[in-house]
Amino acid sequence: MGLVAPTRGAVSFKGTPITGLAPYRIARLGLGYVPEERRIFPTITVKENLLMGVKGSPRRGEGWTPDRIYEFFPRLRERERQRAGTLSGGEQQMLTIGRTLMGNPDVLLVDEPTEGLAPMIVEQVERILGEIHRSGTPVLLVEQSMETALALAQRVYVMSKGQIVFSGSMRDLAANDVVRQQYLEV
């Protein structure tokens, strides 16, 4: 997303080089980013936070609207007029995902969405991310929880010290004892 400059190499999105671009420019190209820290606007309402995520006109077809977000996150509809800073951690995570979707991204980048959440909320976030993907928005997930990654991933990349050390399907990972033992198992 342009928040950390690469020390080498290049990053492209849809054939456009994005290395060195400001995060807002990258977002305008169609990348949506859900940060681990959530970064909500605590003093404004849930609905106002959602509207802060709008970027330009909706894409072709049905774009993301507050009502569509509320279908995925009914709890946010209940809290629509509440200041975002008073939400629980799980509700704030839902709000962050919803706000990002309001920009109608072509790809959703999600960083550690279950970090610090109660198990029941983790299940909800996993279910919703799966539904978002099935609704047509691809999701690129960075996740340390193997359970969450296994529940959601179709393709897996294992990184160590900034390098991809494995790339493949979940089946490929299950069959690769060396990668699992060296990088994933405690």
CA distance 17 to 158: 24
CATH topology of domain 29-143: Rossmann fold (3.40.50)
Confidence of residue 141 (pLDDT cuts 50, 70, 90): very high
Residue 92 has pLDDT above 80, yes or no: yes
Query: Facing residues of 155 across strands?
Result: 169
Residue 106 has pLDDT above 90, yes or no: yes
Report the predicted TM-score, pTM, of the whole model to 2 decimal places.
0.85
The H or E element spanning position 16 is strand 16-17
Classify residue 119 by burial, with Cβ atoms within 10 Å: 0-12, 13-18, 19+. exposed
- Tell me the C-alpha to C-alpha distance, in Å, between residue 107 and each of 32, 112, 116, 137: 6, 16, 24, 6
**Domain boundary assignment for the chain:** 29-143, 154-186
Q: For 24-73, what is each residue's pLDDT tens digit? A: 999 999 999 999 888 999 999 999 999 999 986 655 556 899 999 999 89
Q: For 21-30, what is each residue's pLDDT tens digit? A: 999 999 999 9
Residue 102 has pLDDT above 90, yes or no: yes
Structure-token pair, residue 153: 């991933």
When comparing pLDDT for 106 and 55, which is higher?
106
Phi first, then psi: give them for residue 32, nearest 5 degrees.
-110, 140
Written as one string, the DSSP assignment of 102-151 is TT--SEEEEE-TTTT--HHHHHHHHHHHHHHHHTT--EEEE-S-HHHHHH
Q: Which amino acid is at 80?
A: E
